[in-house]
């Protein structure tokens, strides 16, 4: 592209044909080229940004990212407090029956020692029994044999299932959120839905989504698997890697290149491997109770009628659509898994004695119990909030990223800093929950997008509209004027930039002169939680000037300032967690749950301010831990603790 050309600005929603939409330059692509990046890097990054725009176009304008709660919390003067409140959901009677029956299936097999097969994977009998209970059809519409369960109800059920077995809970997400169910349900033709959804609902065909490749993980522009039309079939060649639930006999959503564009084929894998299809098995520490394999296709034929054809976008649009469901389900799973940790810390804390007293009496252990309860409360709040937004019709990209990052990082901290350290050396014994599952506890930091990479995506979504409106015109003017280092004290530089700077100057002066709004946080929540919510509201409103100032300082080089963007992103995310958790907990009936939320919010606020914990902070955490150790924490009621290993007399 010549330096004298002016790139077109993209729009999120168009009435023009898709061809024009794919030709439009994205904000990210334009910014990278203006900053001097290679055409190849700008093109590839722009392809991802374009796919994001195409997903946006699937949602009504009021539910797109710029109108989402997290985005408006920063950029709107009228703070949308109501959008951060979580509402309870009534579980349909039929769906509740399926949930209870499914829990009983897993409990029964676990008690009988038949949950796993000889390969230590969830057995086919368990999968079949869950199918008969209706487990695999919870997210499938009733007209196709499922339950049509609201996602809010499904997500909270994932937490319940995870307290019994996290792998079984995770498989529900793999199948229903990121497997074949969501792509067919959202993008399939009526004929494709009739053909696939009944079998997916019954569990006759369990599913997976084959996206990752040996050379394509975070960079999905590096896809190599290709499908070429040959008569009535596509002929597929390529390899996939790290695909959960990928075994012969499954149904997968296969992301591949068709005419050099990403596409998705719904593929029924054959019941037996042959010269055209085989799995690649490898040693994997995580996901050890489920099948995670590579897939190799060599001249593998798929009927052309299996191609999904979104009205907008391409295969990446389909891939991105279901990820938000999976991110919330991951947080829900973490909430259940951490309940298991807490339930297993208490018997050991009562049993283990040092210097003649049980360690449950020690402040450090009590603080761990209180901190873990706070992490559980944060996950519960985010799951309730995000799943509710998705049910309302929001895209929820920014919100679900917050849930995924917080949930995975909370589970990692809980496992290593709280669970392992409390159990000491016994944590590494064969048969101990930590020793046997440490990789399961850590791996979610990578699932559905590695945390820091997602944090960058969160920040990009946060600044995109502001950048398009105010900074892209400035960048183009700098490029056209040949000014790499403008000096606003130089009259010639200021004159060349005058027209591009006026809109931003008006916005900036308006921010300085307009008083911040003071939205009414609900008065019916406890004072300490209300104070946390008010703090988060105030800081989120203040943050737009700092964010805009960072964009102004680094301008076209901001894309290279990943550490600064990551730090700002994390701070905004923490404020969202504080606000969501305090508002959610303020309406919970359990006093211990409300106190757990208070402990978490105190910790997050100190992390944002750099303050040392006060005596009040420490007492809040340790007294909460003491009361949890004394019993009565409803969040872990009914969870059976594992046997204490190598007890002594």
**Cα-Cα end-to-end distance for the chain:** 78
Q: Are 265 and 319 in contact (CB under 8 A)?
A: no
Q: What angle do CA 620, 625, 626 make, to 5 degrees?
A: 100
* Parallel, antiparallel or unpaired: strands 353-354 and 357-358: antiparallel
Provide the 3-class DSSP secondary structure of residue 293.
strand
Q: Which residues in the chain show pLDDT less than 50?
A: 1-24
pLDDT in the model for residue 40: 67
Question: What would the pLDDT profile of 394-434 be if each residue is shown by its tens digit?
Answer: 999 999 999 999 999 999 999 999 999 999 999 999 999 99
Give the H/E segment covering residue 208. Answer: strand 207-210
Superfamily of domain 207-308, CATH level 4: Butyryl-CoA Dehydrogenase, subunit A, domain 2 (2.40.110.10)
Token pair of 536, please?
Answer: 């988060």
Phi and psi angles of residue 302, each rounded to the nearest 5 degrees, phi first: -130, 130
pLDDT in the model for residue 56: 86
DSSP state of 419: I
Domain boundaries, the chain: 207-308, 326-451
pLDDT in the model for residue 45: 66
Q: Are 599 and 621 in contact (CB under 8 A)?
A: yes
pLDDT in the model for residue 29: 62
Token pair of 94, please?
Answer: 């039929």
pLDDT in the model for residue 222: 82
The number of helices, as runs of H, and strands, as runs of E, in the chain is: 22, 9
Q: Which residue from 91, 83, 82 is spatially nearest to 152, judged by alpha carbons?
A: 91
Place of tokens 């499904």: 154
What distance lies between CA 115 and its chain's CA centroid?
28
Gap between the Cα atoms of 92 and 147, Å rounded: 9
Token pair of 268, please?
Answer: 């029924």
Provide the 3-class DSSP secondary structure of residue 505.
helix
pLDDT in the model for residue 600: 98
Q: Which residue from 424, 387, 415 is spatially nearest to 403, judged by alpha carbons?
A: 387
Q: Are 608 and 385 in contact (CB under 8 A)?
A: no
Gap between the Cα atoms of 437 and 428, Å rounded: 10
* Parallel, antiparallel or unpaired: strands 251-258 and 207-210: parallel
Per DSSP, which regions of 245-325 are E strands?
251-258, 261-268, 277-280, 292-303
Superfamily of domain 326-451, CATH level 4: Butyryl-CoA Dehydrogenase, subunit A, domain 3 (1.20.140.10)
Q: Are 304 and 258 in contact (CB under 8 A)?
A: no
Question: What would the pLDDT profile of 240-299 be if each residue is shown by its tens digit?
Answer: 999 999 999 999 999 999 999 999 999 999 999 999 999 999 999 999 999 999 999 999
pLDDT in the model for residue 5: 32
What helix, strand, coil percent values describe the chain, rounded to 5? 60, 10, 30
Token pair of 319, please?
Answer: 């891939």
Provide the 3-class DSSP secondary structure of residue 298.
strand
Provide the 3-class DSSP secondary structure of residue 232.
coil
Q: Are 149 and 91 in contact (CB under 8 A)?
A: yes
Q: Are 183 and 264 in contact (CB under 8 A)?
A: yes
Q: Fold match between 207-308 and 326-451?
A: no
């Amino acid at each position: 592209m010549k330096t004298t050309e002016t790139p077109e600005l993209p729009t999120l929603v168009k009435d023009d044909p898709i061809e024009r939409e794919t030709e439009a330059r994205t904000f990210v692509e334009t910014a990278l080229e203006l900053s001097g990046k290679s055409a190849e890097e700008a093109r590839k990054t722009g392809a991802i940004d374009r796919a994001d725009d195409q997903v946006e176009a699937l949602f009504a304008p009021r539910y797109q990212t710029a109108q989402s709660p997290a985005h408006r919390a920063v950029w709107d003067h009228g703070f949308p407090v109501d959008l951060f409140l979580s509402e309870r959901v009534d579980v349909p009677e039929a769906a509740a029956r399926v949930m209870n029956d499914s829990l009983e299936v897993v409990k029964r097999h676990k008690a009988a020692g038949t949950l796993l097969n000889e390969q230590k994977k969830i057995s086919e009998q368990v999968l079949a029994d869950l199918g008969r209970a209706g487990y695999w059809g919870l997210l499938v519409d009733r007209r196709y044999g499922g339950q049509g369960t609201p996602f809010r109800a499904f997500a909270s059920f994932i937490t319940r299932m995870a307290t019994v077995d996290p792998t079984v809970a995770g498989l529900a997400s793999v199948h229903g959120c990121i497997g074949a169910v969501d792509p067919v349900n959202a993008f399939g033709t009526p004929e494709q839905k009739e053909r696939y959804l009944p079998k997916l609902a019954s569990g006759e065909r369990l599913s997976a989504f084959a996206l990752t490749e040996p050379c394509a993980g975070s960079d999905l522009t590096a896809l190599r698997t290709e499908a070429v039309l040959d008569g009535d079939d596509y002929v597929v060649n390529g390899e996939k890697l790290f695909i959960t639930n990928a075994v012969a006999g499954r149904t997968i959503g296969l992301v591949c290149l068709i005419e050099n564009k990403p596409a998705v084929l719904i593929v029924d894998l054959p019941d037996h491997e042959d010269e055209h299809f085989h799995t690649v098995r490898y040693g994997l520490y995580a996901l050890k109770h489920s099948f995670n394999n590579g897939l190799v296709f060599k001249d593998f034929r798929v009927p052309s009628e299996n191609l999904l054809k979104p009205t907008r976008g391409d295969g990446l649009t389909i891939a991105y659509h279901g990820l938000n469901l999976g991110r919330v389900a991951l947080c829900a799973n973490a909430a259940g898994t951490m309940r298991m940790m807490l339930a297993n810390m208490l018997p050991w804390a009562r049993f283990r004695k040092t210097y003649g007293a049980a360690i449950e009496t020690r402040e450090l252990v009590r603080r761990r119990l209180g901190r873990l309860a706070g992490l559980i409360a944060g996950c519960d709040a985010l799951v309730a909030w995000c799943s509710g937004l998705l049910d309302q019709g929001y895209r929820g990209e920014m919100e679900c990223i917050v849930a995924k990052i917080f949930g995975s990082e909370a589970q990692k901290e809980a496992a290593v800093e709280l669970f392992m350290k409390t159990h000491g050396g016994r944590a590494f014994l064969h048969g101990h929950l930590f020793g046997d599952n440490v990789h399961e506890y850590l791996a979610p930091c990578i699932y559905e997008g590695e945390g820091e990479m997602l944090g960058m995506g969160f920040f990009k979504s946060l600044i995109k509209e502001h950048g398009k409106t105010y900074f892209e015109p400035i960048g183009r003017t700098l490029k056209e004027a040949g000014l790499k280092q403008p000096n606003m004290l130089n009259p010639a530089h200021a004159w060349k930039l005058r027209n591009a700077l006026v809109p931003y100057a008006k916005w900036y002066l308006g921010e300085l002169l307009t008083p911040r709004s003071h939205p009414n946080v609900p008065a019916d929540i406890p004072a300490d939680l209300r104070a946390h919510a008010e703090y988060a509201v105030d800081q989120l409103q203040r943050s737009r000037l700092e964010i805009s100032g960072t964009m102004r300082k680094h301008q076209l080089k901001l894309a290279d300032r990943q550490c600064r963007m990551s730090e700002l992103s994390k701070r905004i995310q923490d404020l969202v967690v504080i606000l969501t958790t305090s508002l959610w907990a303020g309406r919970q009936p359990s006093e211990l749950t409300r106190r757990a939320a208070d402990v978490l919010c105190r910790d997050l606020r100190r992390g944002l301010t750099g303050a040392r914990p006060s005596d009040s902070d420490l007492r809040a955490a340790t007294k909460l831990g003491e009361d949890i150790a004394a019993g009565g924490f409803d969040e872990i009621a009914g969870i059976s603790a594992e046997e204490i290993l190598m007890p002594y007399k």
